[in-house]
Structure 1
Amino acid sequence: MKKVMKWTVILAAIVVLGACGSGKTTGSSAAKESSSAETAGKLAAIKKAGVIRVGTSADFPPFEFHAMVDGTDQIVGADVDMVNAIAEELGVKVKWSDTDFDTMLASLQAGNLDMGVSGISATEERKENMLFTENYYIPKQNVVINKQNMDKYTDIADFKEKKVGAQKGSIQEGIVQSQFADSQLVAIAKIPNLVMEVKSGSLDGLVLEDKIAASYVAQNDDLAIADVEVKSTDDESYSIALPKGSEDLQAELNTILKKLIAEGKIDEFVEKNDKLANDKAK
């Protein structure tokens, strides 16, 4: 009986040890799978999902704006065409998220979006929290004013102690602060709201990229572009913004962008949508 009990105890111990060993193997395998998933990177995850999540602020014609297409309200623009071309190269679909500009940047930083396009400039401050592709477009800057003030504003100095607007979170905020230092900056999230402030006289001027400025002026007979020189810098060029940790996606996008630029596609997208935005305004 003692021998039987002895062997029973030994067999039980073997079973327990075997189970423990099995548990360790399973845990090790899970860890390897997790590590493998992390190594795969952002690009592989996007391709596996078949969808790329793109953020924008669709009040920025001709780069992103709303238009009726086949009876439905859709986001269109040069950036939209560019993203669609990128998605085709990646073999995925696009899921758009249209929010305020600063909200979109915050969503990128939080990793809730895979990329952001909306006339985004790769400033040194933004580079601390996000990654950026190579520049794909270099804009000029203009000042939109009420047409009746054309003779009043012919130099930046004329805006001394005046209210000058810029989209909140945009590069134009910095332009107003640096080049219109004697003016009062008014930052608002949506460009159409800033335009209304200029029309009503609550704002004396509004700093916008030239294409966007021209589009809004074309839509509003009481607005004009001031004969004022605003300096442009490399920091104002447009890039695609990405969350930190997206280096593999960044490299792939740079390759695709170089191809699109070399083929003249970006300029083609801008010209096409500039016409579309102006036709919409008529």
Structure 2
Amino acid sequence: MKKGLIGLVSVVALMVLGACSSSTTSSSSSSSTKSSSDASNQWSEIKKAGVIKVGTSADFAPFEFHTMVNGKDTIVGADIDMMDAIGKELGVKVEYVDMDFNAVLASLEQGQVDIAVSGISATDERKKTFDFSVNYFTPEQLVVVNKANVSKYTTLDSLANKRVGAQKGSIQESIVKDQLPDSQIVSLAKVPNLMVELKQNSIDAAVVESAVAQSYVAQNDDLAIADAKLETAEGDAYAIAMPKGSTELADKINSALEKMIADGTIKEYVQKNTDLANENASN
């Protein structure tokens, strides 16, 4: 990732590569998965296979993103560190399956992955279809604009009739629809694509999670965070999604999560990976 448009284009190109690391393999693994209609013995099958397959969309720094580690394209991030720790606690290997965000929950529902971890908000609507872990991070939502236009967009009303971008299938997409109803929503599959469109003035603003927004602004001198303030709801908090009925698996994941929340480990992961994303951008 480099400063400016070239770096963003590079990131977009990098997204098409499959991640490979000690904890990352292709989606062709023989790890067993269960559909959401039959998850009562999911933990037993995961334990037997020794692998938990995790659906994610690695374009959401600092939570999940691609970087080069020892010459290899690797998925890293706060969610990845968190899941690696949970896998260690559960005694299973963690396998990441990278895809567009709007496909993550669909893959979980279809039984192609065991759980979904990708900055996913546990909304009431999603709870009708999936079980969720305890909330592990509550983000603030920010509006990112071209720096040249920052003085124009100081309120939500100033974004009326403007093109506002959000990641397709994300909570930010719902926030634009709910809190900016007079704007023209532009939904794209990847966050880096939103930033490219913003830098090219193809959209006027983008609604992004705070740590992600701050990371992109730090990497790009021509972007800025607008003063327009969005509301944060309890349903915006991030949680791990599981098939309905994953009671035993949820208990084990929650036990590991609650320890990391209590001792501040989750916040440390977010800060560590924010620094990593910014460091990569400056190289």
Bucket of the pairwise TM-score, normalised by the shorter protein? 0.7 to 0.9
Tell me the residue number matched to 1:225.
225
1:116 aligns with 2:116: yes
**Equivalent residue letter for 1:120:** I
CA radius of gyration, larger in: 1
**TM-aligned CA deviation for residue 279 of structure 1:** 0.6
**TM-aligned CA deviation for residue 264 of structure 1:** 1.4
RMSD: 1.2
Runs of 4+ in 1 over 3 A off after TM superposition: none
Tell me, yes or no, if the aligned pair for 2:63 and 2:77 is still in contact at 8 Å: yes
Tell me, yes or no, if the aligned pair for 2:55 and 2:96 is still in contact at 8 Å: yes
Tell me the residue number matched to 2:160.
160
1:200 aligns with 2:200: yes
Tell me, yes or no, if the aligned pair for 1:110 and 1:243 is still in contact at 8 Å: no
Q: Please give the secondary structure, in 2, of the residue aligned with 1:68.
A: strand
**Equivalent residue letter for 1:256:** A
- C-alpha distance in structure 1 between counterparts of 2:43 and 2:108, whole Å: 15
Deviations along 1:106-141, whole A, 9 cap, x unmatched?
A: 001111111111110011111111111010001101
**Equivalent residue letter for 1:166:** A
Deviations along 1:169-205, whole A, 9 cap, x unmatched?
A: 0001111011111101111111111111111111100
Tell me the residue number matched to 2:265.
265
- C-alpha distance in structure 2 between counterparts of 1:123 and 1:237, whole Å: 8
- C-alpha distance in structure 2 between counterparts of 1:186 and 1:244, whole Å: 31
**TM-aligned CA deviation for residue 245 of structure 1:** 2.7
More helix by share: 1
**Equivalent residue letter for 1:78:** A
Tell me, yes or no, if the aligned pair for 1:61 and 1:274 is still in contact at 8 Å: yes
Tell me the residue number matched to 1:125.
125
**TM-aligned CA deviation for residue 254 of structure 1:** 0.9
- C-alpha distance in structure 2 between counterparts of 1:207 and 1:56, whole Å: 20
**TM-aligned CA deviation for residue 39 of structure 1:** 9.3
**TM-aligned CA deviation for residue 257 of structure 1:** 0.6
**Equivalent residue letter for 2:219:** Q
Tell me, yes or no, if the aligned pair for 2:39 and 2:243 is still in contact at 8 Å: no
Tell me the residue number matched to 2:244.
244
Give the number of aligned pairs.
Answer: 245
Deviations along 1:82-114, whole A, 9 cap, x unmatched?
A: 000000011111111000001111001111111
1:150 aligns with 2:150: yes
- C-alpha distance in structure 1 between counterparts of 2:39 and 2:123, whole Å: 29
Please, what TM-score do these two structures have when normalized by structure 2?
0.85
Tell me the residue number matched to 1:27.
none
Tell me the residue number matched to 1:97.
97
Instruction: Give the unaligned 5+ runs of structure 1.
Output: 1-37
Please, what TM-score do these two structures have when normalized by structure 1?
0.85
- C-alpha distance in structure 2 between counterparts of 1:235 and 1:51, whole Å: 30
